[in-house]
Amino acid sequence: MKNFFRKVAFGLKPDEKISSDPLVWATSQITDEIPDFSFKGKIYSEKELRKHYKEWVFNDRKKLRKKFKKDKKGYKSAKNKLRADTGQKFWRNLELAIRHKEATIGSHPVLTKLWYFWGNHFTISDKDFLSHYTTGAYQRETIRLNMNQTFEKLAHEATVAWAMIHHLDNAVNVGPKSEDAKADWRKRKKRPATINENHARELLELHTVSPNSGYTQENITELAMIMTGWAPNDEQHKSLLETANVKFQRKYHQPGKKLFWGKEFPKGKKGLPAAIKFLANHKSCREFIAYKLCRYLITDYPTKDMTDPIVKAWEKNDGFLPEVHKAAIKVAFEFNDKHKKFQTPENWWLQMARMTDAKWPPSDDKFDTYQLGFGPDPYQAKPHKFMKDMGHHPYLSQQPNGFSDLAEDWMSPELIIRRLLYARQGYINLKPDNKNDEFFEKVVTNNFDNPEKIMKILNKNEKTIDKHILLFNLPEVLRA
């Protein structure tokens, strides 16, 4: 039963009380209010961070490339200075620290584990410099803050988020009969306006109904037409380039009412919300999300009796996410003993940190000492370095489908080497007073149903570091 605390969260701290009703413990964390962050250092808004992105893009593209056109060395050096001046290598460390603190010391670890699910569902993959400046903030402000809304609202907010619009190229999705299509420069340059299908395709395939719904290429094109016009506002100051706020701009929008999947949708600004409403309420969408939730929490191969209660909760509550989440947690509880889920590297790492009350992430005040103009110091740089090395940096997914949650995708000699090496790192992160046998016994007793058996295995080692490495590579820990 105790594995449930890891299945739906990150395990229990050594002194954390074991709830007599784990299901109540878990569902009570899913509240209508999204709690404040546990991280007490300075947290920057997405807009503030996007200003740094703008500075980087504008100065690099409009100034440095021209100034150092014939001086490669000079360009490299000036670019490095610009990196430091815009905090390029610092922000993602700060964001990971904020994210990880919710798992390691936060009071709502169940909500946090679900936050990670949605962040991965609405992935911003590693493109341009999004991971450096805005992906973390997008996951805080767009994903987490909408987890107490309906799926439709979350999907809408994620779709029109600046990071997503940029990520999936909707900024260059232009109606072929739009006002902009008639612009003189297009005629002069012989560059007709066309749609860009990228965002529409992923909105269907990855974010809402999935290919199981049977949409066609024609449906993708139709949705792309509806999505024309949602782009960074190019009427704002020109120096903002592509970093201006997203706004519906009629001049890029394909005029007229639209047909999509055999239904008529309104023209203009109302088209996209209506399309998202249609998709969010499609049967395939709730089935797809229910399946993914079960795959994330319970087993690589969910069954209908797992997904059905989640689908029903969705239908009963119009996709209100807190109720959908509670249903998913309940199913995870009911199937807890039958299925053990292989934990992804980030979940595993954070479980190790929470269960051992380790010093992770680096403390808040270490991040508050950061000054623009410099790179992160070795402590501040740890979150990015570690997660990248483990192959599970949540802002560096290589493709828009995010990271896999299937065991087979996390099994390779190199990935298992990472588990061994980072179990050692986990020991290094322990508080000095906790590097002893009594402490391990406490950790094991609080988190496993078979503490004697586990302690017997651990005690075959003399060194506490070896006990630690062994513990966090036991099948009981790799799976939950």
Partner 1 sequence: MKISRRNFLKGSLTTLFLAGSGFPVYSSTENKKNLVVIMLRGGMDALCAVPVVGDKNFEKRRKELILDNTIKLNSDFSLHPGLTNFHELWKEKKSAIVHATNIPYTERSHFDGQNLMESGGKIPYKVKTGWLGRGMKVAGLKQEGLALALPMPLILRGVPQNNNYFPTKGKLPSDKVLALLKDVYSDRSEDELIGMLEIIKSRPKETSYAADDTYSLASEAGTLMKEPNGPRVAVFEVGGFDTHAAQGGEHGTHSDCLKEMDLIFATLKKRLKDQFDNTLIVTLTEFGRTIKQNSGLGTEHGYGSAIFMGGGLLKKNQVYADWPGLKNKELFQGRDLNSTIDARSVYASAMSTVFDLDFKRIQKDVFWGEDLQNLSDKLFKA
Q: Token digits for 350?
A: 């954070």
Burial of 284 per CB tally in 10 Å (0-12, 13-18, 19+): middle
Residue 339 Cβ vs partner 1, minimum distance, rounded to whole Å: 15
Angle at alpha carbon of residue 262, lines to 261 and 267, rounded to 5°: 85
Q: Please, are residues 395 and 409 in contact by the beta-carbon 8 Å criterion?
A: no
- Report in angstroms how near the CB of residue 111 gets to partner 1 at its nearest: 28
Question: Residue 297's closest CA among 258, 321, 329?
Answer: 329
Q: Considering the complex, what minimum distance in angstroms separates the CB of residue 201 from partner 1? A: 7
- Rg over alpha carbons for the chain, rounded to the nearest Å, is 24
Nearer to partner 1, 194 or 363 (CB): 194
Separation CA 372–CA 306 (nearest Å): 49
Cβ closest to partner 1, residue 106 vs residue 394: 394
Q: Which residue number, 20 or 217, has a Cβ lying nearer to partner 1?
A: 217
CB of 16 to partner 1, least distance (A): 26
Complex with partner 1: residue 22 or 400, whichever CB lies closer: 400
Write the DSSP symbol of residue 32. S
* Shortest distance (Å) from residue 437 CB to partner 1: 16
- Specify the residue, 349 or 367, whose C-beta has the smaller distance to partner 1: 349
Q: Kindly state the helix (H) or strand (E) to which residue 259 belongs, with its residue range.
A: strand 258-260
- Residue 260 host element (H or E): strand 258-260
Per the rule left: phi > 0, alpha: psi between -120 and 50, beta: everything else, 63 is: alpha
The nearest distance, CB 168 to partner 1, in angstroms, is 8
Cβ pair 230, 246 in contact under 8 A: yes
- Which one, 356 or 397, has the nearer CB to partner 1? 397
- Min dist. Cβ of residue 289 to partner 1 (A): 16
- Output the smallest distance, CB 257 to partner 1, in A: 23
| Under 8 Å between Cβ of 172 and 196 | yes
CA 227 to CA 200: how far, in whole Å? 7
Residues 365-397, buried b or exposed e (16+ Cβ, 10 A)? ebbeebeeeeebeeebbbbbebbeebbbbbbbb
Contact 349, 410 (CB under 8 A): no
Which residue number, 73 or 189, has a Cβ lying nearer to partner 1? 189
CB closer to partner 1, 251 vs 330: 251
3-state class (DSSP) for residue 286: helix
The token duo for 11 is 């395990």
For residue 55, CA distances in Å to 60, 137, 337 come to 8, 17, 52
Minimum CB separation of residue 418 from partner 1 in Å reads: 7
CB nearer to partner 1: pick between 401 and 445: 401
Residues at the contact surface with partner 1, assessed by CB under 8 A: 168-169, 171-174, 186, 190-198, 201, 205-206, 211, 217, 389, 391, 398-401, 408-418, 420-421, 424-425, 457, 460-461, 466, 469-470, 473-475
Q: How far apart are CA 207 and CA 158, in angstroms?
A: 9
Q: Least distance from C-beta 463 to partner 1, angstroms? A: 9
51 or 127: whose CB is closer to partner 1? 127
CB of 191 to partner 1, least distance (A): 6
Q: Residue 410 phi/psi, 5° resolution?
A: -115, 15
| CA distances, 1 to each of 7, 141, 336 (Å) | 10, 34, 7
**Taking the complex as a whole, how short is the minimal distance between the CB of residue 313 and partner 1, in angstroms?**
26
Token pair 């950790």 is found at 443
H/E stretch holding 247: strand 246-248
Residue number with CB closer to partner 1 (94 or 165) = 165
The residue (of 366 and 479) whose beta carbon lies closer to partner 1 is 479
Q: 285 and 279 in contact (C-beta within 8 Å)? A: yes
